[in-house]
A and B are shown apart, each in its own frame.
Chain A
Amino acid sequence: MVAIAKHEQDLRKGVLVLAVLSQLREEQYGYSLRQALAKRGLPIEEGTLYPLLRRLEAQGLLASQWKAENGPPRRYYSLNAIGAELYRELSASWASLATVMSQLLDGEKQ
């Protein structure tokens, strides 16, 4: 039997970083980011997303700071200059890839 869920998971894994970067053009904390992605149709498991934020920060792509606005202290993340540059690069790659994939899949249908 083909493990469809596994392949689908791998497919989503590939776009995860770009999806997260896209939402961090504005400052977000972990839970709000997950909600924002889920609202736009890309639910991500919390066990995957929260460590990913920390890893991206460790890679020097995100800036973060603790803030206590309207509630308990939360760590807010946003793109720094390197993260913003990476986001631009990846967006361009994604646009190109999406076009190619569309052509490939359209060709499949014809």
Chain B
Amino acid sequence: MKPDALIQSYVTEVVRHLPKRQRTDVGFELRSLLTEELRGRVGDNEPDTATTLELLAEFGRPADVADRYRPAGFTIIRPADAPRFAWISLGGVAVQWVITLIAAYTAPATGAGDDWLSRLGTWWLSAGLGAFWWPGLLVSLSIVAAVMAARRGGDAPEWTPRAAAALDRDRISRPLYVLAIAGALVGIAALVAAINLATLWPELPQPLLDAFVIDEAFLATRGPWAIVLWAATLASMIAVLVAGRWTRTTRLLAIVGNTLWVVLLVWWVAAGPIFAQPYADSVTRGCLLLVAAICLLDLVLTARHLRQGSPAPAV
């Protein structure tokens, strides 16, 4: 290929990556500059294909050159957010895969040819690949956020002392904390009232009263431990409220409390019925497992918070 044609092909490839309104102008200028560069390299000689290719190779890949022409600043995902974005994306996909794989392999058999491999294939073509809607959604939302941030431009809020004070994550909002304690007490009262529904409101319909009949064995052995843990949790919450902030001790207490709650809830679910009615029992077990999962998550977050800080370097 002749040098002029090579340069023209290269320029065409570069401008293909640029906005339409820039293409003609940049294309013409770039071709003219590359031609001059080439003539400058060969001096009085005629440019050849090898020298042209060398020049173009040094100039860079067309897509990279086009990137250099674009103004910097529009970033869909900031480098600082990239690791978190990757974790949230991959975590979401992994959670969907675990749930759908369990569902795929616990579903009843449909007949001959229904082996583990065919189930895997069916799963992959449906829920397996389908799970990628999550990263797609995150990217789409990031694009919208980036466009809005770019439009806002220099109007982004400044870093204020108030914003800096918000970095003190150990400090609690006392009014909110009082509300949380009140909410916990109301929840406990509601639970106790529900268990004693037949005594408190005997005029309610019989099916409703039956639904809240607690299993005798549960009430005698496993149930009372909740009172101990409720008391300990409330004491810990009041300690945080009085101090106005989380301390290492209260965080350690929260970790121990959460661990005990997880153990207790799993024991409740695993050791037998909680409610006498099977339907009420199965719903309650599901709810308790969810509560156990939330406690576990809180436990992990609290443990991570406790570990944060700058450890001294090894000398």
Contacts and interface: CB of A to CB of B under 8 A. Distances in A.
Interface of A: 29-31, 35, 45-48, 50-52, 54-55, 58-59, 72-75
Given A72-B32, A74-B32, A46 B37 contact: yes
A51 B33 contact: no
Interface of B: 25-26, 28-30, 32-34, 36-37, 40, 58-60, 65, 68-69, 71-72
A74 B28 CA distance: 9
Contacts of B59: 45-47
A75 B58 CA distance: 23
A52 to B, nearest CB: 8
Contacts of B34: 46
Contacts of B33: 29-31, 46, 50
Instruction: Give the dominant DSSP class at B's interface.
Output: helix
Contacts of B32: 72-75
A47 B58 contact: yes
B37 A75 contact: no
Nearest to A31: B36
Contacts of A50: 29-30, 33
Interface centre among B37, B40, B68 (most CB of A within 10 A): B68
Given A58-B71, A74-B32, A47 B37 contact: no
Given A51-B68, A51-B69, A55-B68, 8 more contacts: A30-B33, A31-B33, A46-B37, A47-B59, A50-B33, A52-B68, A55-B71, A75-B25
A30 B29 contact: yes
Contacts of B28: 73
Contacts of B26: 54
11 contacts: A31-B33, A35-B40, A46-B58, A46-B59, A47-B65, A47-B68, A52-B68, A54-B69, A55-B69, A58-B71, A74-B32
